[in-house]
Structure 1
């Protein structure tokens, strides 16, 4: 079935998202491992992704862990350094699809304020035809509800959606709903998938 629209995850598809790498560079691997063992930073980030205020959530977590307060606040103060760099070929693929008037959507677990911050650094995040951002929807992958929201809002049948994401559990839910899927492991493989789907030529996907 020829895809009617293409759906991009953002983190590790269009922008690298590597908090561990950031903390390794700032405080060293040993101290980073101790921090991540002592504080549920992933859970904190999940709360932001579900729509809680970015500043309040990070500062509240820091205040609850005084031994790690400075390090936790880096999640807020230096957030853009964790979400970098962009993945250039993925951005080119996004723009190549749009140049052919192929609808392109984002489907991403992202906070409200952190997404706005990211978009000031990466203007291409505003170039999607439709945006499905978890913080605004208060739904997050891999909950099937957020996939249903995209289907209902876009009016596109599941089997006409082609979705890429770097997390197998997110791909699995989409596939179970009938979406066409691609597990993102790098932009070259994603380019090949778009060519195979008949959406881009090799020249357009270069």
Structure 2
């Protein structure tokens, strides 16, 4: 069984609140900013391949009064990634030790992924990592799962996909993969043990 991981919020913690909690010092204003200005769909366009410079320009055109705060999303992006998720990384290393074929598909901007991957040695345990920003495809598009399969000669039916985003889980299931909705390392470990993978 191939095991295919998402990266952000499964193996690597990411949250813009690590930056904007300091910037606004007001949770309500921070949540408004992340819902209405630098919101999820806006960030997803960077994951799809748009540059952060262009993303900042687009958001600033909508909210010029917040130009400084918007620019911080690009300039302090690394501060949004405080570290790994230890319980998940332990599972990944156990799977690798067992010889399990490990792969990853991540919705991640090319530039910030390249900068981040240097921090996490465990990323070298994957046989292949499909980065959305490189491919101009994002989960849950079926093509991104099919690209992983084609590039590595995988049978998607013999692959388990792990993601914290339920839309991506359903996207994987739609192309014939087995899938686990990640809510924490403990439940992941239990599920892998039930499946006889760990």
TM-score under structure 1 length normalisation: 0.87
Aligned length: 196
Q: Does 1:24 align with 2:12?
A: no
Structure 2: distance between partners of 1:52 and 1:124: 27
Structure 1 segments of 4+ aligned residues over 6 angstroms from their partners: none
For 1:97-136, list aligned pairs within 5 A. Answer: 97-136=95-134
Structure 1: distance between partners of 2:116 and 2:98: 26
- How many Å apart are 1:42 and its aligned residue? 2.3
Structure 2: distance between partners of 1:142 and 1:37: 21
- The aligned residue for residue 78 of structure 2 is 80
Structure 2: distance between partners of 1:166 and 1:93: 16
For 1:1-206, list aligned pairs within 5 A. Answer: 3=1, 5-20=2-17, 22-27=19-24, 28-54=26-52, 56-61=53-58, 63-64=60-61, 65-200=63-198
Structure 2: distance between partners of 1:26 and 1:40: 14
Change in 2 beyond 3 A, CA 1:37/1:141 = closer
Change in 2 beyond 3 A, CA 1:178/1:62 = closer
- How many Å apart are 1:13 and its aligned residue? 0.3
Change in 2 beyond 3 A, CA 1:114/1:126 = farther
Unaligned segments of structure 2, at least 5 residues: none
Instruction: Answer with 31-40 or 186-195: which moved more.
Output: 31-40
- How many Å apart are 1:62 and its aligned residue? 5.3
Residue aligned with 1:95, SS? helix
1:80-120, Cα deviation, whole Å (9 max, x unpaired) = 22123310011111122112221111111001001012112
Residue aligned with 1:181, SS? strand
CA contact (8 A) 1:142 1:170 kept: yes
- Quote the RMSD (CA, aligned, Å): 1.8
CA contact (8 A) 1:61 1:72 kept: no
